[in-house]
A and B are shown apart, each in its own frame.
Chain A
Amino acid sequence: MRVVRSTAAGWAAGLLLATPLAWSHAHLRNSVPAAQAQLAAAPSAIVLTFDERIEPAMSSIAIKDAAGHDAAKAASHADASDPATMRLDLPALVPGAYTVRWVAVGRDGHRRTGEFTFTVKG
């Protein structure tokens, strides 16, 4: 009985060693505009939705034009209503090809990056 009690106590203490396993890193689930989209009108924002909550302070969206220059000066921010969504407000984009690069850090601290392109038609 003493051993059983001791073992139970040990298991309880051993719980301190529990670190939940990370099931996955944050994956991009949806983007507006979509990858490789050909848009007749310039979008007002880039909106990215991931499959898990992200850390806004560690995550970001950047957009480059065809020459590699930053096309937006503002910083991206998390969506107030959806912690899995990140948004970058855009100025009026001129026609051309754009590359969106994103960094998403999940709540578990895992970092994932990606990029896609879209085109604003003239």
Chain B
Amino acid sequence: MNGAAWLHLASSVLVYSGPSWRAATILARRWTSDAGAGAGRALASPRGRRLDVLADALGLVGMAGLLWAACATMTDRPLADVGPMMGTLLGTTAVGRTGLVSLGLLASVTIVDVGRRPSRRREGGVLGLLALFAFSRACAGHAGDSGLFSFDVLVEAVHLSSVAVWFGIVAVAAWFALPACAARDLPGTLRSLSETATIALAGVVASGLYNAWERVGSVQNLAGNAYGVTLVAKLAFVAGAVALGAYNRFIGFPALTRSTAARARVMAILRIESLLLLAALAAAARLVTQEPPAARDVASGRSACQGKVKSCVKLLPAVSVTGGAVFVVPPTDAMGVYVAAAPASGMKASTELGSYAATSGAATGRASV
């Protein structure tokens, strides 16, 4: 990873975790209005509001860092040299324009939060601004090409937002709200926390399975490529968090009121869970910069047909066998993407295309048999 990749990673974590904290404190205030009065006071205290503004600021810094890293990546320049190109980035590219909108929305959230007491109306406004911010982020990248409300974008949004809400509520509860919660109010507050985390987990699992199928294609694709390794690491972090959450829900919370040691153990486990989820967010941020194996397969012509033979057949206009190799001949003079899709003479259904080369103006795909 170069400097731009590290900056992108760090900035992404800030963009995820800062607003995630902000959304979670709004949620937590809802819980603590009928349970955990001590936690409610802490969230509404000057210190709690300062933390909200700090979270807003971290999101802003992260967004600026994302744009800086994007400029370095897009221009292939060192981070220190991209300053003169930032104007071009912000003024002429989709990444820059949507980034500017995102920055403006986060700045608006910060302005709303600074120096004002929280109220339901104000928090509703913050949620609205955050929703607009979400829309601006969704417009960046390929989502803009596939349609603003495409199913894949929706699924990805649900997946990342589920992880983020999960992280936010666990982090807010573990590091701020629960330590201030009176012992008698803990069970009610933790019940609300647990119910929300369970709903978020359901979103993570459902959308994660869909994404894994679409982007990885097969279990074999998890190995031998950076995307697969990062995805496995992310799954490990999430699995660890699930295990800790399950322990707390079924063992830790019921024993909470019995001793101070039990309470300390629950807090410690919640904090470890929040750190695991932060690591999962970092892995998710890293995945955004990596090319999924399924997409790479389609582009390079390697085993893109696993599980999708019908759609690939259309890409295979003709097959001829010459010597020990199969050549896939495209219909037009072109170099690029052709995949073997159906069994042909001397060719297995699972044939993988190797390199492809262009000759006499027509591209050919070469496959081993």
Contact = CB atoms under 8 A, between A and B. Distances in A.
Given A17-B19, A52-B145, A7 B195 contact: yes
Among B19, B131, B140, B142, the most chain A Cβ lie within 10 Å of the Cβ of B142
A5 interface: yes
B289 A18 contact: no
A22 B196 contact: no
Interface of B: 12, 15-16, 19-20, 22-24, 26-27, 30-31, 33-34, 70, 73-76, 88-89, 92-95, 126-127, 130-131, 133-135, 137-138, 140-145, 152-153, 156-158, 160-165, 168-169, 192, 195-196, 199-200, 203, 211, 215, 285, 287-292, 295-296, 298-299, 332-337, 357-363
A27 B169 CA distance: 40
Interface string A88-116: 00000000000000010111111100001
Q: Could you tell me the dominant secondary structure of chain A's interface residues? A: mixed
Given A9-B127, A20-B141, A34 B73 contact: no
Contact of B19 (A16, A27, A107): A16
A52 B295 CA distance: 13
A111 B2 CA distance: 14
A22 B23 contact: no
A69 interface: no
17 contacts: A2-B30, A2-B33, A6-B31, A7-B196, A9-B30, A11-B165, A17-B20, A17-B137, A20-B137, A21-B292, A24-B295, A24-B299, A30-B334, A51-B337, A52-B142, A57-B93, A107-B141
Contact of A14 (B141, B162, B192): B162
B358 A116 contact: yes
B137 A24 contact: no
Contacts of A23: 142, 215, 292, 295
A4 to B, nearest CB: 8
Q: How large is the interface on A (under 10, 10 to 19, 20 to 34, 35 or more residues)?
A: 35 or more
Nearest to A107: B94
Contacts of A16: 19, 23, 130-131, 133-134, 137, 161, 164
Q: Could you tell me the dominant secondary structure of chain B's interface residues? A: helix
Enumerate the 10 nearest inter-chain pairs by beta-carbon distance, A residue then B residue, closest first.
A14-B161, A108-B141, A18-B157, A24-B295, A15-B134, A13-B23, A17-B164, A35-B358, A20-B143, A6-B30
A38 to B, nearest CB: 7
A109 B154 CA distance: 21
Given A17-B160, A21-B287, A33-B361, A10 B24 contact: yes
A13 B289 contact: no
Among A20, A22, A58, the most chain B Cβ lie within 10 Å of the Cβ of A20
Contacts of A52: 142, 145
